[in-house]
Amino acid sequence: MPNTMQAAVVPEPGADFEVVERDVPEPDHGEVRVSVDACGICHSDVFTKEGTNPAISYPRVPGHEVAGHVDAVGDGVDAWDVGDRVGVGWHGGHCSTCDQCRQGNFLQCENGEVTGLTYDGGYAEYMTAPSEALAKIPESLDAAAAAPLLCAGVTTFNALRNSDANAGDLVAVQGVGGLGHLGIQYAHAAGFETAAISRTPEKESLATELGADHFINATEVDAGQRLQELGGADVVLATAPSSDAISSIVSGIGVDGSVVVVGVPGEPVEVTAMDLVQTRGAVEGWASGHARDSQDTLEFSSLRDITPEIETYPLEEVETAYGRMIDNEARFRAVLEL
């Protein structure tokens, strides 16, 4: 067992990554140590990189799409053993005592931890995490493929399975990118009539390959009108963080339909009230999930052979990998392999 490890650290808000040597952390009571095999790079890592969340202290190791295996177990941990394949997502632990936790809303914990934000994450060879933050990874899933499922995967899978859509209903996925290419696969596997909406016509063949029954080129047609021609969408999963694109598809929902926003734009989303009144429709949001949700996502993905399209990089190329993600050049998820 080595005494030191390599970690990619953000030394201060807005600074470049520094790959440094650190002591291997020891798990506290209720924690496990994870030997990291792969860690996805998510757009939400910008919170840590740029210091836009007041809960962050520096230096900080980002990363909340962590796939690895248990390397050591702290006191008071009975649920996990050394060697178990595990993942850690955005949900980094909960208190179990606040009002939200007592209602089972662990992701909304009033004292919740966020992996790679309130404590060091997976841009490192080792990390520690509370035992309740861990999800089991099926043996059939490669670590690099499993990593993005712990954020992009659970976000889209969980949003769809908690919607009111039933098998055979029309579900549209707006955007065929890091979130959307997984959303299309989950929608198809769940038995929905699946429509993919994109402003990039070159993605039509990919969307069809992933399971889309319809491709709507939003540069040539009114996406909302086209959805109405298909009968009106029961759910539109909005994965592209564009206020204009989200606003443009509200008119495409059917009776009791909803637009579920998972890709968060920086600007307000404008909604015409009549679109909602006429359909009893709604625009709502969904945020990832807790550890059991992540495990459900991993297990379903294994069952239905759903995997993300990824680019992989060694830890020393973290700046390049992060840059491709932030510039929207990665196809479709960037992953560090350790």
Q: What is the pLDDT of residues 130-141, one digit of tens each?
A: 999 999 999 999
Backbone phi and psi for residue 319, each to the nearest 5 degrees, phi listed first:
-65, -40
Backbone phi and psi for residue 75, each to the nearest 5 degrees, phi listed first:
-60, 145
Q: What share of the chain is helix, strand, coil (3-state, %, to 5)?
A: 30, 30, 40
Quote the Cα angle for 264-266-270, to 5°: 85
Look at residue 332 in the predicted model and tell me its pLDDT.
96
Residue type, 147: A
Label the pairing between strands 170-174 and 4-9. Answer: unpaired
Looking at the chain, the whole-number percentage of residues with pLDDT higher than 90 is: 99
Look at residue 1 in the predicted model and tell me its pLDDT.
79
Q: Which fold has domain 4-151+289-337?
A: Quinone Oxidoreductase; Chain A, domain 1 (3.90.180)
Q: CA-to-CA distance for 182 and 320, rounded, in angstroms?
A: 24
Does the pLDDT value for residue 301 go beyond 90? yes
DSSP letter assigned to residue 53: S
pLDDT tens sequence across 70-118: 999 999 999 999 999 999 999 999 999 999 999 999 999 999 999 999 9
> 196 - beta bridge partners?
173, 215
Quote the Cα angle for 262-268-269, to 5°: 65
Give me the mean pLDDT over the 181-186 stretch: 98
Domain ranges of the chain: 4-151+289-337, 154-285
Does the pLDDT value for residue 19 go beyond 90? yes
Residue 166: both structure tokens together: 């039933």
Look at residue 128 in the predicted model and tell me its pLDDT.
98
Q: CA-to-CA distance for 59 and 73, rounded, in angstroms?
A: 25
CATH says 154-285 is which class?
Answer: alpha beta
Label the pairing between strands 18-23 and 4-9. Answer: antiparallel
Provide the sign of the torsion angle of the four alpha carbons 184, 185, 190, 193, taken in this order.
positive
Residue 101: both structure tokens together: 């936790």
Q: CA-to-CA distance for 331 and 25, rounded, in angstroms?
A: 33
Provide the sign of the torsion angle of the four alpha carbons 78, 81, 82, 88, taken in this order.
negative
Question: Is the Cβ–Cβ distance between 20 and 7 less than 8 Å?
Answer: yes
pTM of the model: 0.97
pLDDT tens sequence across 129-178: 999 999 999 999 999 999 999 999 999 999 999 999 999 999 999 999 99
Q: CA-to-CA distance for 311 and 335, rounded, in angstroms?
A: 6
Residue 204: both structure tokens together: 């039509």
Q: CA-to-CA distance for 314 and 124, rounded, in angstroms?
A: 11
Look at residue 272 in the predicted model and tell me its pLDDT.
94
CA distances for 124 relative to 155, 178, 318, angstroms: 24, 23, 11
Neighbouring C-alpha atoms within 13 Å toward the C-beta of 311:
19
